[in-house]
Structure 1
């Protein structure tokens, strides 16, 4: 199936590792011009080297509103347009809710909600003007169902889900599709503490009906489809990718 991504311009945040890196590399393989954004310039360059000359990088700090505000204008200055945005960057502070300082919540909301909102707004203005565009927000299964010791993360990702649905309804008439992916347990650097501990890994996998954690490559086809022109009537969706975990009682 031709996703018609060749020469489209797609921004991927949190693209220096894990799911973001996998999506950036896959989109480049589909022929898109990918702008990979993250804090680590060195890690971004390592990702760009795998893009066949189709991945450029922008060092962006999602905690810094000025840095976030500069991203979309930089993309348009380079390419003259923006066709897709994948809001993937996020943080997941863990801890007992009764012990958490409000500063931890503010940090999670800044990275997981405010930054994606700012980028969606900036990209959306351009997409509405060109009457075409796709935004994919990466939430989490904890944004669909709450999880103990991740109350701030669950709250922020729940906000991302609601933002996705509201923007989809508001922008559908402009041919701008907004969807959300809610990943479950994937083998990424963020899950290193789990994957490197046989005990923790066994306990985590026991909760997943599929009986394993997923590889980032297993998220890539859905992300590419949702950010492509091949799914023009799909908007406002929340696509859970978790091996059946959130579907069980």
Structure 2
């Protein structure tokens, strides 16, 4: 019998986390490293990635970096192939890169719409496809797409973001359907409202924070550390028969009106 905790052990596995120079991606990289994985930080800013990598190494993590633009299909394909040739298989992929843009829908700029869709949706397809092609040949692999409570719920002035995260949810299910037969598990992780650099303005907005805390059954903002356990579960053998599922880590926001 396999000890239960052994199911969560990621020793010997390599995890690529896109958009991991800071915020949720950085926290997930640290969490996967803490479970034993070698982690690969991704972003476009090599200097930022280097700084993030050194911080993780100071905590004992095994870290590599891979700077490439996740919205450039050709660059993604080349970068994944180069990494696998030089460093070995990518066992775990976390599609985390994303951005938020706010404006009334009737005023939403077309160029910003396309920027948001490229970053939030196209990147999941490009990186997911490039990595899965290698995973399929090995008949194993874990892909975690970062969704959101906005995959299910809307808020004023973020309709394009909501549309993008709804698309990621359904792309996750489609990936699981197409690639499950090849031994891959593809699932989504749906954060609620978390304290990060990108949400600091909302955290500092007393009226919004009061509303959010009252709206959330757990009565607080999320801390990025709250996501680690769910990510390790979805990346590990503990989730070998979990496929096409979206795991919301939101303090109960999606459970209540």
TM-score range relative to shorter protein: over 0.9
1:229 aligns with 2:234: no
Q: Does structure 2 conserve the Cα–Cα contact (< 8 Å) formed by 1:9 and 1:79? A: no
- Of the candidates 83, 108, 119, which is equivalent to residue 111 of structure 1? 119
Counterpart position of 1:123: 131
1:53 shift after superposition: 4.8
- Of the candidates 142, 149, 155, which is equivalent to residue 157 of structure 2? 149
- Of the candidates 235, 242, 247, which is equivalent to residue 239 of structure 1? 247
Q: Does structure 1 conserve the Cα–Cα contact (< 8 Å) formed by 2:70 and 2:126? A: no
1:170 shift after superposition: 1.4
Q: Which structure 2 residue ranges, 5 or more long, are not aligned?
A: none
SS in 2 for 1:219: helix
Q: Does structure 2 conserve the Cα–Cα contact (< 8 Å) formed by 1:35 and 1:75? A: no
Counterpart position of 1:173: 181
Q: How many residues align?
A: 249
1:129 shift after superposition: 0.1
Whichever structure has more helix as a proportion of its residues is 2
Moved more, 199-208 or 29-38: 199-208
Counterpart position of 1:77: 85
SS in 2 for 1:225: helix
The structure 1 segments of at least 4 consecutive aligned residues displaced by more than 6 Å after TM superposition are none
1:26 aligns with 2:31: yes
C-alpha distance in structure 2 between counterparts of 1:187 and 1:40, whole Å: 23
Counterpart position of 1:9: 14
1:101 shift after superposition: 1.6
SS in 2 for 1:220: helix
TM-score (norm 1): 0.95
Counterpart position of 1:61: 69
Q: Does structure 1 conserve the Cα–Cα contact (< 8 Å) formed by 2:70 and 2:127? A: no
Q: Which structure 1 residue ranges, 5 or more long, are not aligned?
A: none
TM-score (norm 2): 0.92
C-alpha distance in structure 1 between counterparts of 2:215 and 2:25, whole Å: 25
C-alpha distance in structure 1 between counterparts of 2:61 and 2:234, whole Å: 23
C-alpha distance in structure 2 between counterparts of 1:130 and 1:64, whole Å: 25
| Residues 1:39 and 1:205: Cα distance change in structure 2 (over 3 Å) | farther
Q: Does structure 1 conserve the Cα–Cα contact (< 8 Å) formed by 2:141 and 2:183? A: yes
| Residues 1:71 and 1:225: Cα distance change in structure 2 (over 3 Å) | farther
